[in-house]
Structure 1
């Protein structure tokens, strides 16, 4: 059996006016509107709800039973929904709009990814369940067939967190784990292939023979949201102003709001 250790980088909705876009609020609004309507609208809001995070890079390492690297995969992806790379994503990953403009769209890259995985039995390995969730979500968005084994996964972040006795509800960063096990840091983080390689090294440290893969069960994306606690963003900004001893600019307020909403997705935890 092979282990496919993979990592993804995502893009999300961005407007040139630097407006705050809360994809969660958009989705909740559309879900409620559509709950009493049979026909699904093809509006941009619905598309945002279906795929709030669009994959722009897939990086993967294939390991055999002896944990030897037998192949690697690294592809940038031309966006189909969010054509402009969000400035925050560009700063974090180094991926810009020009870099992906000439790349293939997700359906073609996904086909190449399946070819890379091969016909042998395999299990997916990820640093946190969100990459599995978003991979499947992108597959569904493009109406592609999903290989059953893609839902079979090992959450390496969860295994490493147990080694660290990480408090429940907290997530261990990939860089923290890499540094803890003295794994050489030779390339930047927040690059899909680099992170997949680092995750591979951590996997070797936490693997045990009794380890059993989990099966990912698709969440009901169209469920009507229940009431939940909300963060007072104005008070959040006020706290920043107290910390820095000055008023935040309009641009800084926008960055704080965007960073908060991105943080809630856990997609940038490493």
Structure 2
């Protein structure tokens, strides 16, 4: 059986958004699913940012991530090896990793470079499910995760803008756009 890894990140931001180059990961959520979108395993960790350790009020309100969660978290160089150990046990069955849009891939690559980290994910294909969904549904332009779920006749489960619930909701759309 093949597995897919669905990743969602939450990152530092401000109202109006910051360029990816100025953002840092504050939460990693990953859902390992089979081709039916059923979760096999998951990973969830908070990450303490280095450059801007204080979350903006906008960021706290958007993500519902409290400053204390971040203050007690480890930095990415400590958290990422935990992720790599977790994914290593599933590596043989892993086909690709996916995210809703391309932001998560860009943010990971930037933070890997910044912290001089290596990742098994870099050896796997990345699939942008947002683009795949738009193409499968013949949409004029890609839509947000919540809108995609609604188009598919689903409701968002759990809190929005939290890494694991966003990853799990993205995973629910996987069977609709990936060949079985």
TM-score scaled to structure 2, two decimals? 0.87
In structure 1, the partner of 2:145 is 174
In structure 2, the partner of 1:96 is 66
Identify if the C-alpha distance between structure 1 residues 141 and 190 changes in structure 2 by more than 3 Å, giving closer, same or farther.
same
Deviations, residues 222-245 of structure 1 (Å, cap 9, x unaligned): xxxxxxxxxxxxxxxxxxxxxxxx
Deviations, residues 133-182 of structure 1 (Å, cap 9, x unaligned): 11111011001123264552111101111133222xx4311001111222
In structure 1, the partner of 2:173 is 202
In structure 2, the partner of 1:128 is 101
Asked if 1:183 corresponds to 2:178, the answer is no
Q: Greater share of strand residues, 1 or 2?
A: 2
> Quick one: which of 114, 117, 124 aligns to 1:144?
117
In structure 2, the partner of 1:160 is 133
* More displaced 10-residue stretch of structure 1: 87-96 or 118-127: 118-127
Q: Is the 8 A contact 1:132 1:151 kept in 2?
A: no
Residue 179 of structure 2: SS of its match in structure 1? coil
Q: How far apart are the structure 1 equivalents of 2:58 and 2:45?
A: 20
In structure 1, the partner of 2:7 is 6
Q: Which runs of 5+ in 1 are unaligned?
A: 15-19, 25-48, 210-270
Q: Which runs of 5+ in 2 are unaligned?
A: none
TM-score scaled to structure 1, two decimals? 0.59
Identify if the C-alpha distance between structure 1 residues 129 and 22 changes in structure 2 by more than 3 Å, giving closer, same or farther.
closer
Residue 62 of structure 1: SS of its match in structure 2? strand
* More displaced 10-residue stretch of structure 1: 97-106 or 143-152: 143-152
In structure 2, the partner of 1:116 is 86
Q: Is the 8 A contact 2:37 2:173 kept in 1?
A: no
Q: How far apart are the structure 2 equivalents of 1:59 and 1:106?
A: 13
Q: How far apart are the structure 1 equivalents of 2:17 and 2:164?
A: 29
Aligned residues: 176
Identify if the C-alpha distance between structure 1 residues 150 and 124 changes in structure 2 by more than 3 Å, giving closer, same or farther.
farther
Which structure has the bigger radius of gyration? 1
Q: Is the 8 A contact 2:97 2:121 kept in 1?
A: no
Cα RMSD, aligned residues only: 2.4
* More displaced 10-residue stretch of structure 1: 77-86 or 57-66: 57-66
Structure with the bigger RCO (C-alpha within 8 Å, sep 6+) is 2
Q: Is the 8 A contact 2:9 2:26 kept in 1?
A: yes
